[in-house]
Amino acid sequence: MQGDSATTSQETTQLLRSVAEQLKMPLSTIARQAELGQLTGDVSLTDLSAIRTHASAALTLVDCYLLGLQLIREQALLPLEPVSVSSLLVETAHELQAFAKQYDTTLELHIAGKYEPVMAHHAGLKSALLSLGYALLESYPVQQRGRMSLAVHRTPNGIVTGLYGDFEQLSSKAWRTALELQGKAPRPFESLSGNGAGLFVAEAILQAMDTKLRVGKHRKQQGLATTLQPSQQLSFV
């Protein structure tokens, strides 16, 4: 029991350190924009939009972190229910659009065909995808920015959903190493900028739904995704 408590405390500390570091980026952007407006006496609509977008991203990450922290402490599974993954992806893409624009990236939504509901926790899955989206958008190499995809597709193992882009150096080995270095190194991912806090938050939430993040490919793009099981109940019309 004491060992489990120590492990939970260590995971919590590592996640807290990672999130605190990642929050510096949007909050620093807000501070710079506000300072510039104060010095010049002129805050444009573009500046206000950037401030609002980064503030919203910071607040969302805090909400997602709090959920992940609660799940780590309680070591409990989230209650699963039938969730329309297609509808949830539309919601997530809508919330990520403004943030993607700040990083000169077009966010594409790929939903090919119809999908029956999956067994998930709606708020948990959305929080995981938002955390994943914010983290990958911040980590996107400048020279490769252009588009990222929020997608869903079917495999023999279940229904896969995630975010994909031109992350050529992202590999399963790199992801395993990053998980081991979480909270211990400034940059757990050598191939990505930033510390990947949102990725670790997403992983913690998904684990509470008895699934996890993994490296995957979709339409020649590389990214991180999770596999969800179709609901045995009647599909949504």
Model confidence over 23-32: pLDDT tens digits?
666 666 766 6
Which among 237, 233, 205, 213 is positioned nearest to 82, based on CA atoms?
A: 233
Which structural domain range is residue 232 located in?
1-237
Average pLDDT, the chain: 80
Q: How confident is the model at residue 189 (pLDDT cuts 50, 70, 90)?
A: confident
Which among 86, 121, 127 is positioned nearest to 236, based on CA atoms?
A: 86
Give the pLDDT confidence score for residue 237 in this predicted structure.
40
- CATH number of 63's domain: 3.30.565.10
pLDDT over 60 (residue 38): no
Q: What is the largest CA-CA distance in the chain?
A: 60
Which among 3, 161, 138, 19 is positioned nearest to 89, based on CA atoms?
A: 161
pLDDT digits (tens, 9 = 90+) for 129-163: 999 998 898 887 666 678 899 999 999 999 999 99
Per residue, what are the HEC states of the chain? CHHHHHHHHHHHHHHHHHHHHHHHHHHHHHHHHHHHHHHHCCCCHHHHHHHHHHHHHHHHHHHHHHHHHHHHHHCCCCCCEEECHHHHHHHHHHHHHHHHHHCCCEEEEEECCCCCCEEECHHHHHHHHHHHHHHHHHHCCHHHCCEEEEEEEEECCEEEEEEEEECCCCCHHHHHHHHHHCCCCCCCCCCCCCCCHHHHHHHHHHHCCCCCCEEEEECCEEEEEEEECECCCCCCC
Which among 198, 138, 190 is positioned nearest to 168, based on CA atoms?
A: 190
The CA-atom distances, in angstroms, between 236 and each of 90, 115, 117, 123, 171 are 16, 9, 7, 18, 35
Query: What does the alpha-carbon distance between residue 108 and residue 164 come to, in Å, rounded to a whole number?
Result: 10
pLDDT digits (tens, 9 = 90+) for 68-91: 777 777 777 889 999 999 999 999
Q: How confident is the model at residue 97 (pLDDT cuts 50, 70, 90)?
A: very high
**What is the total count of domains within the chain?**
1
pLDDT over 60 (residue 2): no
